Amino acid sequence: MNYEEMDRKLKSRLKPERYSHSKSVEKLAVELAEKWGADAKKARLAGLLHDNAKNMDKEKSGILIEKTGADESVKQSPTLWHGPVGAYLLKGDYGIDDEEIFDAVFYHTIGKKNMSLLTKIIYIADAIEPERDEYADWTSACREKAFKNLDAALLEVTDRTINSLVKRGLKINFGCIDIHNEVIGKLRK
């Protein structure tokens, strides 16, 4: 399947605003890949397709999440399902059989320790792409940071997520905590 075919299929499966967000993540992910020496072609595909399962109905994604190997804490949080489920669909639905792209899509909702450069880039680009204008001031400052120090931007994105979960009285998944602890340790060295 070529890029145009993937793009068309994705567009048919997503709500317009989600498709537009995906294109914006794709663009920022490519720029960050070029800046930090990741594979820009993989960043393009991972960015485009990271939310491919976002608008799937809950019943279907509830069935598919069981096949993904996601751990129990993820299975209990439906908002996290579209990462693992989207990764699971890459091969059959988009013809992408690539471990790095799989990992980047799988973990964009969950996060984890020792993320690859590509996974980190998708995780960050997803949070700060320019169309997320409800947080315009914050996202533009963090975008600038991402081009200077990727780990500092990663910490900011993660801490913002943790704070927001705490404020809303929601559970914090372990991936966020792992990222926070790992990056804090690295930046303080």
Where on the chain is the footprint of Fe ion (CB under 5 A)? 51, 126
Instruction: Pick the closer one to Fe ion by CB: 55 or 184.
Output: 55
Listed residue (171, 136, 178) closest to 155, CA to CA: 178
Instruction: Pick the closer one to Fe ion by CB: 133 or 184.
Output: 133
Give the integer Cα–Cα distance in Å for 143 and 132: 12
**Shortest distance, CB of residue 187 to Fe ion, whole angstroms?**
25
Give the integer Cα–Cα distance in Å for 27 and 41: 11
**Shortest distance, CB of residue 122 to Fe ion, whole angstroms?**
9
Distances (CA, A) of 59 to 66, 88, 129, 171: 12, 16, 29, 22
Instruction: Pick the closer one to Fe ion by CB: 103 or 126.
Output: 126
Instruction: Pick the closer one to Fe ion by CB: 126 or 182.
Output: 126
Instruction: Pick the closer one to Fe ion by CB: 21 or 180.
Output: 21
What backbone torsions phi and psi does residue 172 show, to the nearest 5 degrees?
Answer: -100, 125
**Shortest distance, CB of residue 22 to Fe ion, whole angstroms?**
7
**Shortest distance, CB of residue 54 to Fe ion, whole angstroms?**
6
The region, left, alpha or beta by phi > 0 then psi within -120 to 50, assigned to residue 68 is alpha
Asked if 32 and 120 count as a contact pair (C-beta separation under 8 A), the reply is no
**Shortest distance, CB of residue 25 to Fe ion, whole angstroms?**
6
| 180: number of Cβ within 10 Å | 18
